[in-house]
Amino acid sequence: MYEWANEMNCAVTVCDTEGVILYMNEKACRTFAKHGNLIGKNLFDCHNPQSQDKIRELLETGGVNAYTIEKNGIRKMIYQTAWKQDGVVGGLVEISMEIPGETPHYVRK
């Protein structure tokens, strides 16, 4: 089901509506390797209360959350969005990708 994402050069994590991690691609597993195998674990256990509130909001609304971070000198774009099946929210997908310090921005018409 997730074969297309397994070798992507960005971290992909998928959870269900309860926050249980269903899938992590190879890069996501490497990123969080120090925490062991997280598949089957609940992502609410790894997040602070503010982040937990945001996750609950996304699950309730089917919304999107996007932001950038910098950690250890590496900038990343984090994109979190609900995934749906037959129009019903089934959980969340998070895609985390490294981005250059100066990312070009283009306005297209």
* Structural domain includes residue 103: no
Residue 109 is assigned to a structural domain of this protein: no
The total number of structural domains in the chain stands at: 1
The reply to whether 43 falls in a domain is: yes
pLDDT in tens, 5-56: 888 899 999 999 999 999 999 999 999 999 999 999 999 998 999 999 999 9
The whole domain housing 7 covers 3-98
Q: Which two tokens stand for residue 9?
A: 């050069």
| CA angle (82 as vertex; 99, 26 as ends), nearest 5 | 50
105 inside domain: no
- Residue 42 falls in which region: left (phi positive, over 0), alpha (psi -120 to 50) or beta: beta
Mapping DSSP to helix (H, G, I), strand (E, B) and coil, where does residue 66 land?
strand
H/E stretch holding 31 reads: helix 26-31
pLDDT digits (tens, 9 = 90+) for 65-106: 999 999 889 999 999 999 999 999 999 999 999 998 888 889
In a domain, 108, yes or no: no
Evaluate whether 44 touches 52 at the Cβ level (below 8 Å).
Answer: yes
CATH number at residue 47: 3.30.450.20
Residue 54 counted as domain residue: yes
Is residue 82 a part of any domain in this protein?
yes
Whether the model clears a pTM of 0.85, i.e. scores above it, the answer is: yes
104, part of any domain: no
